[in-house]
Chains A and B, each alone.
Chain A
Amino acid sequence: MLRFAVKRAFGAIPTLLLIIAITFFMMRLAPGGPFDKERKVTAEVEANLRRAYHLDEPLWMQFGRYLGKLLQGDFGPSFQYKDFSVNELIWNGFDVSWRLGLSAMILAFCIGVTIGSIAALRQNSGVDYATMGLAMTGIAVPNFVVAPILTLVFGLYLSWLPVGGWGDGDLQHAILPITALALPQIAVIARLTRGSMIEVLRSNFVRTARAKGLPERIAVSRHAVKAAMLPVVSYLGPWTANIITGSVIIEQIFGIPGTGRYFVTAALNRDYTLVLGVVIFYGAIIIVLNLLVDLIYGWLDPKVRYD
Chain B
Amino acid sequence: MRISKMMATLGTAALLGLASAASLTGPAAAETVIHRGNGAEPESLDPHKLTGVPEANILYDLSEGLLVLSPKAEPAPGVAESWDISDDGTTYTFHLRQNAKWSNGDPVTAEDFVYSLRRAVDPATASDYAPILGVIKNAEPIIAGEEKDLAKLGVEAIDPQTLKITLNSSTPYFLGLLTHSISWPVHKATVEKFGDQWTRPGNSVTNGPYTITEWTPQSRIVLTKNPNFWDAANVKIDKVVWYPIDDLAEEFKRFRAGELDVTSVVPSDQIPWIRKNLAKQYHNVPYLGTYYYVVNLTKEPLGSDLKLRQALALAIDRKILVEKITQAGQLPAYSWVPPGIPGYEPAQTSDAKMSQAERNEMAKKLLAEAGYGPDKPLNVEILYNTNENHRKIAIAIAGMWKKTLGVNAAITNQEWKVYLDTRDKKQFELVRAAWIGDYADASNFLDLFLSTAGERNDAGYNNPKFDELMKKASVTANPQERNKILHDAEQVFLNDLPIIPIYHYTNNYLVADKVQGWVDNVLGYQLTRYLSVAG
Question: Which of B127-135, B230-238, B346-354, B523-531 contacts the other chain?
Answer: B127-135
Q: What 14 additional pairs, Cβ within 8 angstroms, besides A151-B253, A257-B219? A: A37-B51, A41-B128, A44-B144, A48-B143, A80-B43, A83-B196, A92-B217, A93-B217, A95-B21, A99-B18, A225-B3, A226-B3, A255-B250, A257-B218
A167 vs B254: C-alpha distance when bound (angstroms) = 13
* CB-nearest residue of chain B to A259: B218
Beta-carbon contact of A163 and B217 below 8 Å: no
* CB-nearest residue of chain A to B23: A168
Beta-carbon contact of B1 and A221 below 8 Å: yes
Contact with B along A35-62 (1 / 0, CB 8 A): 1111111111101110110000000000
Q: Does A119 contact B (CB under 8 A)?
A: no
Residues of A within 8 A of B (CB): 30-33, 35-45, 47-49, 51-52, 77, 80-85, 89, 92-93, 95-96, 99, 102-103, 106-107, 109-110, 148, 151-152, 155-156, 159, 162-171, 174, 221-222, 225-226, 229, 251-258, 261, 268-270
Question: Which of B68-76, B86-94, B241-249, B308-316 contacts the other chain?
Answer: B241-249
Contact with A along B206-248 (1 / 0, CB 8 A): 0000000000111110000000000000000000000101110
Sampled A-B contacts (29; CB under 8 Å): A31-B418, A31-B421, A36-B420, A37-B420, A40-B454, A40-B458, A44-B123, A44-B131, A47-B145, A51-B123, A82-B44, A83-B45, A83-B200, A84-B217, A93-B217, A102-B14, A106-B11, A109-B7, A151-B253, A162-B257, A162-B259, A163-B256, A164-B250, A169-B18, A170-B18, A225-B3, A229-B3, A255-B245, A261-B218
Q: Which size bracket describes the interface of B in this complex? A: 35 or more
Q: Which of A30, A165, A252, A253 contacts B243 (CB 8 A)?
A: A165
A254 vs B44: C-alpha distance when bound (angstroms) = 23
Q: Which residues of B contact A106 (CB under 8 A)?
A: 7, 10-11, 14
Residues of chain B from 12 to 70 with CB closer than 8 A to chain A in the complex? 14-15, 17-19, 21-23, 25, 41-46, 49, 51
Q: Which residues of B contact A152 (CB under 8 A)?
A: 253
A151 vs B254: C-alpha distance when bound (angstroms) = 9
Say whether, besides A37-B51, A45-B126, A110 and B7 are in contact (CB < 8 Å).
yes
CB distance from A302 to the nearest CB of B (A): 14
Q: Which of A96, A165, A225 contacts B259 (CB 8 A)?
A: A165
Pair count A-B, CB < 8 A? 198
* CB-nearest residue of chain B to A92: B217
Q: Which residues of B contact A171 (CB under 8 A)?
A: 15, 18-19, 22
Beta-carbon contact of A170 and B21 below 8 Å: yes
Beta-carbon contact of B21 and A168 below 8 Å: yes
A166 vs B126: C-alpha distance when bound (angstroms) = 34
A-B CB proximity, top 3 nearest = A32-B417, A169-B21, A257-B219
Q: Which of B4, B247, B422 contacts A253 (CB 8 A)?
A: B247
Q: Which residues of A contact B435 (CB under 8 A)?
A: 38
Beta-carbon contact of B417 and A33 below 8 Å: yes
Q: Which residues of A contact B420 (CB under 8 A)?
A: 32, 36-38, 40
Q: Does B434 contact A (CB under 8 A)?
A: yes
